[in-house]
Amino acid sequence: MTSPDSAPRDVARAHRIRPFASIGLASLILVCLLAFLVTRWRSLPDYEWRFSPGWLMLGVGATASCYVLQGELWRALLGALNEKIEPRSARAVWAKSLLARYIPTSIFLVVTRVALASRHGVRRRVCLVSVVYELALGLSAAGILASYFIVTVPALEGRPGRFAVLGVIPLAFVALHPRFFKPLADFGLRKFGRPELDEVLPLSTVSVFMLFYVVSWLLMGVGLLAFAASLHPISAGESPYVVASYSVGFIVAVLTFVVPGGLGTRDATVAASLAATVPGPVATAIALGFRLLETAVELVYLAVTVTLARREVRHR
């Protein structure tokens, strides 16, 4: 039989263990991130890296804009679910959790996001649902752009089966409709021992978020296009395929979630998609080089958001 004093002791023990667990998780993220960077660096092909500064700056700006927008969208999702978190803290939480993707299975992104947000008063079950919405909306929005690529790319002309991908768009809205989403979300929460949701997002709100996530992937696609153009001439007719190729890679990375951060799978898919418009070796160089640029932008965004969040805490 459990003694009355056991619960307080368990709570105290949990508080003592928490700092060590945080340090351990941070160390694991750092090791996995360094391993990722070393692997990507060694994978770079023997290519004459000559950048056009203007295009490169545009690529960095568009990529950074995607991260800023998606961070704000997650905060807006929490607000739409009647959960509040201070803006600077929300940005820092979102940025920190991104690095957890580099740990195998990427499930640590969810664990890290929920744990960090709970320190700022966000209910764990609501945060978990916000991440599910974020993933579903991001995947669906990427599916819209990927559908354009698959339907229009010249390499797939004459194959009627390519039009089947257009079914992804209505299926995404059906899956996110409250009548379908709430029972699925409640089932998952019960499995984790959490109470059911008080409310879910109406379809009109989901549609608005979907539009903004499409814009965010367009920004990332423009970042890839500008980076590619800084290395190799890209014609106007080829530009839409380059922009959409990032979304194709993102979808494959999500479907192979066991791989840390889509390591290898996203890069290979982006390179294969780019090969429809540029020579194979150039496509590989662009895909791997952009992934390193993307990671650098993530780290800068993390540093900025964490610094601003800490500064605000000191001024309270």
CA distance 276 to 191: 44
Cβ atoms 195, 131 nearer than 8 A: no
Domain that holds residue 166: 52-315
Going 151 to 257 to 206 to 249, the CA torsion angle's sign is: negative
Q: Which residue has the tokens 């949990």?
A: 14
Asked if the structure places residue 12 within a domain, the reply is no
Of 220, 270, 273, 312, nearest in space to 40 by CA: 270
Asked if the structure places residue 9 within a domain, the reply is no
CA distance 144 to 167: 10
Tokens of 71: 């961070």
Q: Give the pLDDT means over successive 10-residue stretches in the chain (316 positions).
A: 45 43 52 57 60 92 97 97 94 91 76 92 90 91 88 70 72 85 81 74 94 97 95 89 91 70 71 84 86 89 92 70
CA-to-CA separations, 41 to 46, 101, 292, in angstroms, rounded: 11, 18, 8
- The per-residue pLDDT for 65 is 98
Asked if the structure places residue 26 within a domain, the reply is no
Cβ atoms 79, 290 nearer than 8 A: no
Asked if the structure places residue 166 within a domain, the reply is yes
Q: Is 156 exposed, middle or buried (0-12, 13-18, 19+ CB in 10 A)?
A: middle
Going 39 to 43 to 47 to 53, the CA torsion angle's sign is: negative
Tokens of 170: 């209505």
- Please give the DSSP secondary-structure letter assigned to residue 8: H
Asked if the structure places residue 35 within a domain, the reply is no
Q: For the chain, how many structural domains are there in total?
A: 1
Asked if the structure places residue 59 within a domain, the reply is yes
Would you say the pTM of this structure is higher than 0.85? no
- The per-residue pLDDT for 43 is 56
Q: Which residues contact 282 (CB under 8 A, 6 or more apart)?
A: 47, 231, 232, 274
Asked if the structure places residue 41 within a domain, the reply is no
- The per-residue pLDDT for 60 is 96
Tokens of 171: 């299926």
- The per-residue pLDDT for 33 is 56
- The per-residue pLDDT for 11 is 36
Asked if the structure places residue 256 within a domain, the reply is yes
